[in-house]
Amino acid sequence: MKAARVAFVTGGNRGIGLAIAQGLARAGHHVVLGTRSEAAAVLPVDTLLSEGLAASAHQLDVTDPASVVRAVADTANEHGRLDILINAAAVAIDRGQLASSADFEKVQATLNANLLGLWRCCSAAIPEMRKHRYGRIVNLTSHLGSVSTMQGGNVSYRVSKAGVNALTRVLAAEVASDGILVNAVSPGRTATRMAYGETDRTPEQAAVAAIELATLPDDGPTGGLWFDGGSLPW
């Protein structure tokens, strides 16, 4: 059976990214796992293939512009299209860091991965989506990026996710006439390596909302910030 759509999932080899990839594959889509190394993709891809699902992988470093362009181009060339982009790759390396005494190496690394890396992936994917006038982009954000509830600490992570929220709105407006829907979703306090043990849900539970946004009908919402099926304050 031919896969319904082609989905590229950054950070797709573990955590929420892998849970989203699994959900999309089980829904009948071909998923391409973007991973920092080819070795990191072997086990998750083999597991999906053992279930009879359509899956493959491509090396991806979102902080490397050439790597992003290559991953998207190769995916589109191999499968003839790119329909869904899930931006799950991110870092959290500044727990407790204050804006007034920031470690700017961590700030730069965080913004490069979480905001600019995601932006690079969107910029590379949108031209491929425009070719078929169909696309779904889902950006993983965080409650910590909500300006309405913004507090101190974790400054570079907060700023990076606030930037993701702003970029989501801008891109959604730009591509609305191209059949491309762009949304941001917070997974909540999910049990991943980035959560420091402060969790109340599994990656599979967190993935549900992202999968729904990745498979929206053509008249679905765009430019939204979501959590568990409802809107989240900006």
Q: What is the predicted pLDDT for the residue at 194?
A: 58
Domains along the chain?
6-231 (3.40.50.720)
Asked if 157 is an active-site residue, the reply is yes
Q: What is the predicted pLDDT for the residue at 198?
A: 65
Q: What is the predicted pLDDT for the residue at 4?
A: 82
Q: Output the CA–CA distances (angstroms, integers) from residue 90 to 2, 29, 61, 104, in the order listed.
A: 31, 23, 11, 17
Low-confidence stretches of the chain (pLDDT beneath 50): 1
Q: What is the predicted pLDDT for the residue at 1?
A: 43
| Mean of per-residue pLDDT scores for the chain | 94
Of 119, 157, 226, 227, catalytic: 157
Q: What is the predicted pLDDT for the residue at 215?
A: 98
Q: What is the predicted pLDDT for the residue at 45?
A: 97
